[in-house]
A and B are shown apart, each in its own frame.
Chain A
Amino acid sequence: MREFYEAIVIGAGHAGCESALALARKGHKTLLLTLSLDAVAFLACNPSIKKKKKGQLVSEVDALGGQMGIIADKTAIQIKMLNRGRGPAVQSLRAQADKNLYHQEMKKVVESCPNLFLKQAEAEEIKLLKSKKIVKTAVGDEYEAKVIVLATGVYLDSRIIIGKYKENVGPNGFKNAKKLSDSLRKLGYKLLRFKTGTPARINARSIKFEELEEQLGEENIQPFSFVTKKSIKNKAKCYLTYTNVKTHEIIKQNLDKAPAISGEITGIGPRYCPSIETKIVRFADKDRHQLFLEPESLSTKEFYIQGFSTSMPTYIQKDMIHSVKGLEDAEIMRDSYAIEYDCIDPQQLKLSLESKLHDGLFFAGQINGTSGYEEAAAQGIIAGINAALKLENKSPLVLSRADGYIGVLIDDIITKGTNEPYRMMTSRAEYRLSLRQDNADLRLTEKGRAVGLVDDSRYKIFKKKKAGLEKASKILNNKLSYDEKLLNFFIKNNETPPKNSISVKEAVKRSNIDIFKINAEFGLFDEFSYDVLSELNLIVKFEGYLKQQSEDIEKAKKTENVEIPPNFDYSKHHGLKIETIQKLTQVKPENLGQASRISGVSPADIAVLSVLLKKFKEKKDER
């Protein structure tokens, strides 16, 4: 049997769903293949999504017209602001998502989307013929399309490890993809083997909550999506507890049984998600580690023990958990496990996430060596958009490091590669101050609109916010008249009163005053929404720094805008060091800016390269 589509997306996780939705919403007949319909957009690890840090990515996906933020808002059961008191820009949100509901809601969106066809089948082989691409499934069916997006997550030849138990399955015991790795190898892709893990789940009825620290949610917090109107209601609580000396003693005595330590597991694990045994070994001086108990769903009693990932044998896991305060009688419902899987070396991709090896083949999500739901969705929407643009014969959408965290993420993995599952951190972004969650729409919604993914209702909301910002920023120039009210306002806020009338902007700049306080006192901004005012407040507070950053961005654009032709042969030109030629040939940077970020490429190399490129271009023009 053979069916015909415009696009095929392999994998219906967080990357695959965004890719398929982007393609279908742009009007392309798309097939979305999944190993199990019960695992669509499955939150295989933490049932939580973060707004800051990686959550910047959620806001950006949302601003481009993606789905993740909307579903996260709809299925959140607790939301909490972290980092209060460390300044407005460092605050961060954590939202607990209802794991079952998240899967259901995303599946509902996907299966109701016009042009999108969701099907359970194992993709086994990719055949690339001259004018067509074919995906062959395990049952022998063939699906043909012009573009393919691979978003296979951690399912490629995956293996679960618990102590001595090793089983070739996917996360949570789902079926894995056995043969696709070989097919990719045959096509010439270099594969890496990575590892990650997830902690045990325990039954709520066996947890002594009264002995634990409660972590309550907060009300009236801005949701993830720019289009969500209602604020999130808190329906569940999280809890805090700690490991102790006894826990550490159990682990130390059994280190020989830990596959990650004894060398049984060869896949490279992430440094930021170490198993508890790795933490004990590496941070031997710490006598306790924080554990965070998170409810998995309102429809189950399962609790997730954040911070307690291990691949120890089950009988040791049990002892470890029972040594923790409040968990003495915990009933373990799912064991903690480590998982190994295949992914590709992301340096084989272009900044559009299209393969450098094959036209029309795109890769997104954990198959590219990243980690995390948010990272996956971010790549998913970009791969989906670019696969669609490919079908439309249009040039791809490439986000720069100044455009957003998505740009940072993709540039990082493609330019530098990764030797561990890559996770987004705000420290990776050099323009962090400009890349705020609240302005993701201001940065990206026009781009999303231009590629046709931002619908009218989202665009209207965006336009309204933008207009609001413009109007409100004019009020900043208003003068606050010099009178008793003004003086009292300053004194009340512990600020030296001005000697004359003062502009609203100057007042906002004072460290103990902000736009909300001014509005409460003088009522100048009553007509504007919270998000407009908080954005404006930040713009004023950070004015000098933001200006500096935008100057840096402009400077970087100069090299960023110098394109390197894909067929440029570095070895045929005089002047570059052999070592540099090798690096450039391997990465094949798409522009001079990207070339400058390859490790070991010096500023002098870039100077030489810029001359060579100019020469190359002039010669070409002569012809």
Chain B
Amino acid sequence: MEKPIVAISTPLGKGAISIVRLSGKNSIDLALEFFKPIKKQIIEPRKMILGNFYIEDEKEKCLMVYFKEPYSYTGENMVEFHIHGGSVLTKLLQDKLIEKGARLAEPGEFTKIAFENGKISLDEAEGIIDEINSESEAELKNSLATAGGKIKFLVKDIQEKLKNVLAQIEVTMDYPEEDEFEVVREPVEKVLKETKLKLEDILENTRQKKYILKGINVAIIGKTNVGKSSLLNTLAGEDKAIVTDIEGTTRDLVEAKIDIEGVRFNFIDTAGIRESCDEVEKIGIERSREAMKNADITLFVLDGSKTIDEEDEKILRDLKGPYIIVVNKSDKQRKLKKFENEVEVSAKELYNIKKLKRTLLEKTIGDNIDFKYKVIANERQEEILKNALLFTKEAISKKHESLEIWSLLIKNIWKELGKITGETENEDIISLIFSKFCVGK
């Protein structure tokens, strides 16, 4: 069965609604693996249905429309998801669909299928051609951009090593009369294992990037009267970032999403502590522990005008993972002792807020994950790399197969990677055979 194709049809970014489209015979079956209507109902064509889509343990409210062939844009069975805007969710849904059997659409492919199925008139064909060209053009530019260019370089290197191995195997098959070309399996296996590691590495980086796109979770902890809320408002306000109260996709409540130099920080609600004013201290500590567990970084806010008490000391001892000690109320007389690596601020007078933001960035992206030097794949490349990784695992597991089969499996990896580098011609291997091995009459 042909795989359905999938693509995000709205521009990536901060639009209010994003649309993810699927087209293909079994696109509705695939869609229903993720989507559950709120009310039990039959999926009727051309009718908006409210429901949730489920990805792992997350769920998100969205609208789904099903178009039954031939009454759709492409003329095939189609499904559209209308989901909350923002690149993260949209991308997540698309990835999941690909993982479950869809294929990322080629530039202009929806329109091309529409044309082939006679859904678009002849006159419109010109438009499609421009679309295909402009999209592939954009992709080309994208791939030439720093990260994309780097990945090509890296993949080329992996491919080069595989090509050497292939030439070594192929020469024994095409020149069996030359007794010197014996294939030793261990070095080949070593190359395959290295390939696996390298592919996993790029994929892991890419995954981390997604995690950054999703946002970095920040827990603000501290006692009620230390000025957490005003700090949050100041952080948010200065950048005029969106402060919402919407329920997030994670289990945590997100108080505010703040953009710092293009990186999103999700400030996790620490209402538990805020509400704990009437409760015993113990509960407050429990809650802050809980908040820290789900955070990528913790802001521990203290009131600079007061001395430290036992509860603060307990929290201090409990601090885990990256954290920043924020000493608020610098506008008042300082009574609190000095901490190493503290950031003294005044939420009220906007003192040192910029420094706090910079520290947040440094402590998260700057210190932990250095994206400036890491290679990240775009979505098309990511799909290819995932396939290549599967092929690599298969080749490793079948290392005892006959050479002809092994060569075929290794060639699968090489060819898949060629979709990134453009090197997929058998001739490339043959050229290497001639330059590396002395064969002939």
Q: Is B126 an interface residue (CB 8 A)?
A: yes
In whole angstroms, what is the CA distance A92 to B172 when docked? 11
Instruction: List chain A residues, Cβ under 8 A from B403.
Output: 86-87, 90
In whole angstroms, what is the CA distance A87 to B109 when docked? 43
| Interface of chain A residues 219 through 274 with chain B (CB within 8 A) | 270-274
Q: Is B55 an interface residue (CB 8 A)?
A: no
Output the least CB separation between B107 and chain A (Å). Answer: 6
| Interface of chain B residues 372 through 415 with chain A (CB within 8 A) | 400-405, 408
Q: Is A45 an interface residue (CB 8 A)?
A: yes
In whole angstroms, what is the CA distance A608 to B133 when docked? 8
Task: Determine if B129 and A86 form an interchain contact, defined as CB atoms under 8 angstroms apart.
Answer: no
Q: Is A299 an interface residue (CB 8 A)?
A: no
Partner of B440, one of A83, A86, A274: A274
Task: Determine if B106 and A603 form an interchain contact, defined as CB atoms under 8 angstroms apart.
Answer: yes
Q: Which of A120-128, A152-160, A388-396, A611-619 contacts B (4 or more CB under 8 A)?
A: A611-619
Instruction: List chain B residues, Cβ under 8 A from A36.
Output: none
Task: Determine if A608 and B438 form an interchain contact, defined as CB atoms under 8 angstroms apart.
Answer: no
Interface string of A60-99 (1 = CB under 8 A from B): 0000000000000000000000110011111010100000
Q: Is B211 an interface residue (CB 8 A)?
A: no
Q: Is A279 an interface residue (CB 8 A)?
A: yes
Instruction: List chain B residues, Cβ under 8 A from A46.
Output: 441
In whole angstroms, what is the CA distance A615 to B128 when docked? 12
Instruction: List chain B residues, Cβ under 8 A from A199.
Output: 441
Output the least CB separation between B115 and chain A (Å). Answer: 6
Instruction: List chain B residues, Cβ under 8 A from A599.
Output: 425
Instruction: List chain B residues, Cβ under 8 A from A488.
Output: none
Q: Is B132 an interface residue (CB 8 A)?
A: yes
Instruction: List chain B residues, Cβ under 8 A from A201.
Output: none
Residue of B136, B173, B435 contacting most chain A CB atoms (<10 Å): B173
Instruction: List chain A residues, Cβ under 8 A from B426.
Output: 427-430
| Interface of chain A residues 590 through 623 with chain B (CB within 8 A) | 599, 602-604, 607-608, 610-612, 614-615, 618-619
Instruction: List chain B residues, Cβ under 8 A from A92.
Output: 173, 176
Instruction: List chain A residues, Cβ under 8 A from B401.
Output: 87
Q: Which of B143-151, B177-185, B236-244 contacts A (4 or more CB under 8 A)?
A: B177-185
In whole angstroms, what is the CA distance A324 to B130 when docked? 66
Known: A89-B402, A575-B129. A614 touches B430 (CB 8 A): no
Task: Determine if B441 and A432 form an interchain contact, defined as CB atoms under 8 angstroms apart.
Answer: no
| Interface of chain B residues 337 through 391 with chain A (CB within 8 A) | none
Q: Is A289 an interface residue (CB 8 A)?
A: yes
Output the least CB separation between A46 and chain B (Å). Answer: 6
Task: Determine if B106 and A615 form an interchain contact, defined as CB atoms under 8 angstroms apart.
Answer: no
Q: Is B125 an interface residue (CB 8 A)?
A: yes
Task: Determine if A90 and B125 form an interchain contact, defined as CB atoms under 8 angstroms apart.
Answer: no
Partner of B115, one of A283, A416, A614: A614
Residue of B nearest to A94 (CB): B177
Instruction: List chain A residues, Cβ under 8 A from B125.
Output: 611-612, 614-615
Instruction: List chain A residues, Cβ under 8 A from B115.
Output: 611, 614
Residue of A nearest to B132 (CB): A607
Task: Determine if A289 and B441 form an interchain contact, defined as CB atoms under 8 angstroms apart.
Answer: no
In whole angstroms, what is the CA distance A283 to B425 when docked? 25
Task: Determine if A87 and B405 form an interchain contact, defined as CB atoms under 8 angstroms apart.
Answer: yes
Q: Is A286 an interface residue (CB 8 A)?
A: yes
Chain B contact residues, majority secondary structure:
helix
Known: A88-B402, A428-B426. A607 touches B172 (CB 8 A): no
Task: Determine if A427 and B174 form an interchain contact, defined as CB atoms under 8 angstroms apart.
Answer: yes
Task: Determine if B179 and A290 form an interchain contact, defined as CB atoms under 8 angstroms apart.
Answer: yes
Partner of A611, one of B112, B425, B430, B441: B112
Task: Determine if B408 and A433 form an interchain contact, defined as CB atoms under 8 angstroms apart.
Answer: yes
On chain B, the number of residues with a Cβ less than 8 Å from chain A's Cβ atoms is: 45
Residue of B106, B176, B180 contacting most chain A CB atoms (<10 Å): B176
| Interface of chain B residues 410 through 441 with chain A (CB within 8 A) | 425-427, 429-431, 433-435, 438-441
Known: A309-B441, A607-B112, A615-B125. A428 touches B430 (CB 8 A): yes
Q: Is B200 an interface residue (CB 8 A)?
A: no
In whole angstroms, what is the CA distance A89 to B180 when docked? 20
Q: Is B122 an interface residue (CB 8 A)?
A: yes
Instruction: List chain B residues, Cβ under 8 A from A82.
Output: 176-177
In whole angstroms, what is the CA distance A607 to B137 when docked? 13
Task: Determine if B129 and A307 form an interchain contact, defined as CB atoms under 8 angstroms apart.
Answer: no
Task: Determine if A574 and B126 form an interchain contact, defined as CB atoms under 8 angstroms apart.
Answer: yes
Q: Is B108 an interface residue (CB 8 A)?
A: yes
Instruction: List chain B residues, Cβ under 8 A from A290.
Output: 178-180
Partner of A306, one of B133, B404, B441: B441
Q: Is B245 an interface residue (CB 8 A)?
A: no
Q: Is B201 an interface residue (CB 8 A)?
A: no
Q: Is A4 an interface residue (CB 8 A)?
A: no
In whole angstroms, what is the CA distance A623 to B404 when docked? 53
In whole angstroms, what is the CA distance A596 to B177 when docked? 35
Interface string of B232-258 (1 = CB under 8 A from A): 000000000000000000000000000
Output the least CB separation between B267 and chain A (Å). Answer: 44
Output the least CB separation between B113 and chain A (Å). Answer: 11
Output the least CB separation between A105 and chain B (Å). Answer: 24
Known: A82-B176, A272-B440, A427-B173. A607 touches B108 (CB 8 A): yes
In whole angstroms, what is the CA distance A382 to B110 when docked? 41
Task: Determine if A273 and B440 form an interchain contact, defined as CB atoms under 8 angstroms apart.
Answer: yes
Residue of A nearest to B400 (CB): A511
Instruction: List chain A residues, Cβ under 8 A from B172.
Output: 83, 86, 90
Residue of A nearest to B170 (CB): A427
Q: Is A490 an interface residue (CB 8 A)?
A: no
Q: Is A53 an interface residue (CB 8 A)?
A: yes
Output the least CB separation between A288 and chain B (Å). Answer: 9
In whole angstroms, what is the CA distance A619 to B136 when docked? 27
Q: Is B116 an interface residue (CB 8 A)?
A: yes
Instruction: List chain B residues, Cβ under 8 A from A618.
Output: 122
Instruction: List chain A residues, Cβ under 8 A from B433.
Output: 425, 427
Task: Determine if A545 and B405 form an interchain contact, defined as CB atoms under 8 angstroms apart.
Answer: yes
In whole angstroms, what is the CA distance A83 to B402 when docked? 11
Instruction: List chain A residues, Cβ under 8 A from B112.
Output: 607, 610-611
Q: Is A292 an interface residue (CB 8 A)?
A: yes
Task: Determine if B430 and A575 form an interchain contact, defined as CB atoms under 8 angstroms apart.
Answer: no
Interface string of B185-224 (1 = CB under 8 A from A): 0000000000000000000000000000000000000000
Residue of A nearest to B130 (CB): A575
Known: A290-B179, A604-B107. A611 touches B402 (CB 8 A): no
Q: Is A52 an interface residue (CB 8 A)?
A: yes
Residue of B401, B430, B434, B441 contacting most chain A CB atoms (<10 Å): B441
Task: Determine if B122 and A286 form an interchain contact, defined as CB atoms under 8 angstroms apart.
Answer: no
In whole angstroms, what is the CA distance A428 to B430 when docked? 8
Interface string of B309-353 (1 = CB under 8 A from A): 000000000000000000000000000000000000000000000
Instruction: List chain B residues, Cβ under 8 A from A292.
Output: 177
Instruction: List chain B residues, Cβ under 8 A from A94.
Output: 177
Known: A87-B405, A427-B433, A614-B115. A289 touches B438 (CB 8 A): yes
Task: Determine if B408 and A545 form an interchain contact, defined as CB atoms under 8 angstroms apart.
Answer: yes
Residue of B nearest to A615 (CB): B125
15 A–B contacts from the bound complex (CB under 8 Å): A53-B173, A87-B402, A272-B434, A306-B441, A309-B440, A416-B427, A425-B430, A432-B404, A574-B129, A603-B106, A604-B106, A604-B107, A607-B106, A615-B125, A619-B122
Known: A45-B441, A53-B174. 4 other contacts (CB 8 A): A86-B404, A425-B170, A433-B408, A604-B106
Query: CB within 8 Å of B: which residues of A?
Result: 45-46, 52-53, 82-83, 86-90, 92, 94, 198-199, 270-274, 279, 282-283, 286, 289-290, 292, 306-307, 309, 416, 425-430, 432-433, 511, 542, 545, 574-575, 599, 602-604, 607-608, 610-612, 614-615, 618-619
Query: CB within 8 Å of A: which residues of B?
Result: 106-109, 112, 115-116, 122, 125-126, 128-130, 132-133, 136, 170, 172-174, 176-180, 400-405, 408, 425-427, 429-431, 433-435, 438-441
Query: A-B pairs with the 7 shortest C-beta distances?
Result: A87-B402, A575-B129, A604-B136, A82-B176, A271-B434, A83-B176, A273-B440
